[in-house]
Amino acid sequence: MASVEKWVGFGSAMAGVGLLWSRMPEHVHEEARYIISSLVPMVMSYFNPYEQITISEHGEERYRRNKMFDAVSTYLSSVCAGGASKLKAELRNNRKDEPLITLDENQEVADTFEGARMWWRLYPKASRNKGVVTVSLMPGDADEPRCFRLVFHRRHRHLVLNSYLPSVVRHWRELTEKNRQRRLFTNHTKDRKSEWTHVPYNPPTTFDMLAMDPDKKYEIVNDLTAFLEGEDYHSKVGKAWKRGYLLYGPPGTGKSTMIGAMANFLGYDVYDLDLTSVKNNADLRKLFLDTTDKSIIVIEDIDAIEVELTTKRKGKKAANGNEINGDNHVRIEFSDKYDDKGEVTLSGLLSFVDGLWSACGSERIFVFTTNHVDRLDPALIRPGRMDKHIEMSYCRFEAFKMLAKSYLDITEHSLFCEIGRLLDETNTTPADVADNLIPRGKRNDEISQLLDEAPADVANNLSLRYKRKRDRDADECLKGLVEILKKARVESTTPPIN
Ligand SMILES: Nc1ncnc2c1ncn2[C@@H]1O[C@H](COP(=O)(O)OP(=O)(O)OP(=O)(O)O)[C@@H](O)[C@H]1O
């Protein structure tokens, strides 16, 4: 990094200073020590021509993840990780079979930018107070987060700040757009701190496959499209760029499937928030602030959680009109006074949906799901809070046709009319219908894959066999479905025996 002669000269000078020091009388030492302690940093910085920039995993507020850290991590993985001897690999996308390579901790790599040489190193998480017990309400307070350190010659300072680092960010944005592997996050508690962990996420459903009323589906797709293109609109009207959806309906009507379709459509990550493992509002705040932009934040079965949240309000009436008290519901101490230290509160949750904290971050979709919309606290569903209330209902004929197309690859059949009538007379969920449309033996989609891969003459033969098999499967499945629906109709009209 610097010429050897220069450092040899510096070493000899230091040796001379040491000799002089040992010969000084004792009383001179005190004053000299003071002068030296103020001079050393100046001398060191004069002799050391290198400067450094630290990029910590969490920002100044410590709540917030530092996007610059992610940018550097991605940049180093793609540009110069090849120069490191210790790397880490993980499989990010099972479909592509391409491992994600990242720099291991304490590894140094060099990079060159417009002729300037610089060095990066990833430092691991470190305890801030070694040997001291820290009591902190703020999660992660006792730890110094992981950080990247960039070292460069001071003559490149301008270049690094004005060109190199912005180019790292640009590179990161381009790369993440191109190779984005969507992730499914879930929260858990480790060492009494809440944090997110994630797995690669490739939901198989698209809106084409989602069985529901076509007009309703069209409306949702339009709404999401307007949201995606809504940056200017939101800044013009001064609204946070976020949207809330409440999905409600019986189990098996496709609420989770809809979330997968939304994630596919938007290209967003999904954060599946488990409120039962969040300690208090401070914890919840940290989790929310740790989510990235362009994400869907999901709270499933909000009614179950919400009963716990609302029971803390003394004397509150439940949906059935009964007064809720501490004796017949889960008891969790709750009051606004202890908002931050006690438990998660409904107001704490709502402050992120449309309150003060909702302005932190943009391009967020909140999705709450429930099987019992009638049990929800009015505060949660009042107009303007969740932007869209979407009912996921039982399977009717239009939805059935979509399932028949996806599962059996057919658009018509002699049994369609009868099935349509039976679906109107029974309350059958799309999940139950879908269950009966899976052919036994080799699946149709596997066969069509075989067809794609076979040479032309074999493919012709296979194609004929495929059609015959598809028709046989459809006959078999639809006959089975008719039987199931007839049975369901009988059950729904037979009064229960007391
Ligand atoms: N509307 C639908 N369109 C397509 N497939 C569906 C639909 N509804 C259900 N299914 C099928 O049924 C399975 C279960 O549905 P899903 O988990 O989405 O229902 P849910 O409403 O979220 O149920 P729960 O309330 O129990 O979580 C899905 O994996 C999917 O295969």
Q: What DSSP designation does 151 have?
A: E
For the Cβ of 165 lying below 6 angstroms from any atom of ligand 1, the answer is no
Q: What is the pLDDT of residue 362?
A: 76
Number of neighbours of residue 112 by Cβ within 10 angstroms: 9
Residue 371 Cα: closest atom of ligand 1: 25
What does the radius of gyration of the chain's CA atoms come to, in whole angstroms?
A: 31
pLDDT score, position 6: 55
Question: Does residue 386's CB lie within 6 angstroms of at least one atom of ligand 1?
Answer: no
So what's the pLDDT on residue 327?
39
Q: What is the pLDDT of residue 82?
A: 66
Ligand 1 atom nearest 209 alpha carbon: 4
Predicted confidence at residue 325, as pLDDT, reads: 43
User: Which residue has the CA at smallest separation from atom 30 of ligand 1?
Assistant: 431
Which two three-digit tokens encode residue 403? 């399932």
The atom number, within ligand 1, closest to the CA of 252 reads 19
Half-sphere exposure of residue 51, counting CA atoms within 13 Å on the CB side? Answer: 10
Q: What is the pLDDT of residue 456?
A: 65
- 301 by Cβ neighbours in 10 Å (0-12 / 13-18 / 19+) ranks as middle
pLDDT at position 333: 39
**C-alpha 210 to ligand 1 mean position (Å):** 9
Q: Answer whether 256 contacts ligand 1 (Cβ < 6 A).
A: yes
Q: How far is the CA of 437 from the centre of ligand 1 (A)?
A: 14
How many whole angstroms from 304 Cα to the centroid of ligand 1?
A: 19
CA–CA separation, 191 vs 283, rounded Å? 13
| Per-residue pLDDT, 368 | 93
Residue nearest to atom 18 of ligand 1 (CA): 254
Q: 211 CB less than 6 Å from ligand 1?
A: yes
* DSSP strand pairing (193-200 vs 99-103): unpaired
Tokens (6 digits) for 393: 């209902």
Q: Ligand 1 pocket test: which of 206, 245, 253, 257 has the largest number of ligand atoms within 8 Å of its C-beta?
A: 257
Residue nearest to ligand 1 atom 24, measured at CA: 251
Give the residue whose CA is nearest to atom 8 of ligand 1. 254
Label residue 238 exposed, middle or buried (CB < 10 Å: 0-12, 13-18, 19+). exposed
Residues 6+ apart with CB under 8 A from 147: 54, 55, 56, 57, 69, 122, 123
User: What spacing in Å lies between the alpha carbon of 352 and ligand 1's midpoint?
Assistant: 28
Domains detected in the chain: 4-47 (no CATH), 50-181 (no CATH), 198-391 (3.40.50.300), 397-493 (no CATH)
Q: Is 422 in the pocket of ligand 1 (CB under 6 A)?
A: no
State which of 245, 256, 395, 429 you would mutate to test the pocket of ligand 1, scoring each by most atoms of that ligand within 8 A of its C-beta.
Answer: 256
Atom 11 of ligand 1, nearest CA residue: 431
Nearest-10 crossing angle of helices 444-453, 456-493? 170
pLDDT per residue rounded down to tens, the chain (498 residues) = 444 455 545 656 666 666 676 666 666 667 777 777 677 767 776 778 899 999 998 876 666 778 899 899 888 887 766 677 778 777 655 555 667 777 888 888 889 999 999 999 999 887 655 544 444 444 444 567 889 999 999 999 999 999 999 999 998 888 777 666 788 999 988 777 788 999 988 888 899 989 999 999 999 999 999 998 888 887 777 777 888 999 999 999 999 999 999 999 998 999 999 888 888 888 888 888 888 888 999 999 888 765 556 555 444 444 444 444 433 333 333 334 444 455 777 777 887 777 666 666 678 899 999 998 888 888 787 777 788 999 999 999 999 999 999 898 899 999 999 999 999 999 999 999 999 998 876 555 555 666 566 666 666 666 777 778 888 888 999 999 999 999 988 887 766 655
How many of the other CB atoms lie within 10 Å of CB of 52? 11
Q: What is the pLDDT of residue 62?
A: 60
C-alpha distances (whole Å) from 282 to each of 63, 95, 288 are 10, 38, 10
176 CA to centre of ligand 1 in angstroms: 30
Q: Is the CB of 402 under 6 A from ligand 1?
A: no
One-character DSSP codes across 5-64:
HHHHHHHHHHHHHHHHHHHS-HHHHHHHHHHHHHHHHHHHHHH--EEEEEEESB-TTSSS
Query: Element (H or E) spanning 185, and its range?
Result: strand 183-190
